[in-house]
Amino acid sequence: MKSPPQVVIYTDGGCSGNPGPGGYGIVLVNGDHRKEMSGGFRLTTNNRMELMAVITGLKALKRKCRVRIVTDSQYVAESMTKGWAARWRANSWKNKRKEQVLNRDLWEELLMLCEEHEVSFSWVRGHDGHAENERCDELAVGATRQPGLPADEPYELCHCKKKYKEIFHLKV
């Protein structure tokens, strides 16, 4: 039986303000093949864009692969390598302080995609001269500057609801 292809997915996400307009950049490498992708949203957070980069990279795969995700996000890398995300799911999306986990929608999608592939995560220091990470950063920053960015609907719905309650002094 032929083993699945090996792919490296380099990712980065960021925002201009946090929250603010956000973008993500991805570089997929499979042997001599290389693909770059980016996207963004008009109002989101840095952590959501870091997660979206990984999710978008995994969704681009057409068949089961052995994947190494290279990210400068400790939030993403540690949540996956230390098993926190899996524990949050097992604990009805509550963290160890019994609080609701932020970005549940994206964590659910990421965990599901990781079950479709053989995925490992590696962390690299951002803005430290790593060529692929620097390219992902350029793509992410460029994406935040695109006109007509779409809504990150799960974030905006939650964010606006919370702001509404704060403005009118309602219990959150």
pLDDT at 114 over 50: yes
DSSP state of 99: P
**In terms of pLDDT, which residue wins out, 157 or 45?**
45
pLDDT of 21 reads 96
Which residues touch 150 (CB under 8 Å, ≥6 apart)? 41, 42
pLDDT at 166 over 60: no
Cα–Cα distance for residue pair 117/94, rounded to 1 Å = 26
- Residues listed for the chain: 172
pLDDT of 171 reads 52
pLDDT of 170 reads 47
Sheet strands side by side (includes 33-44): 33-44, 20-30, 6-15, 66-71, 118-123
Which span out of 61-65, 156-160, 161-165 was modeled with the highest average pLDDT? 61-65
User: Mean of the per-residue pLDDT values for the chain?
Assistant: 92
pLDDT at 169 over 70: no
pLDDT at 103 over 90: yes
Confidence of residue 2 (pLDDT cuts 50, 70, 90): confident
As annotated, the active-site residues are 12-13, 50, 72, 127, 137
pLDDT of 160 reads 67
Confidence of residue 19 (pLDDT cuts 50, 70, 90): very high
Confidence of residue 168 (pLDDT cuts 50, 70, 90): very low
pLDDT at 128 over 90: no
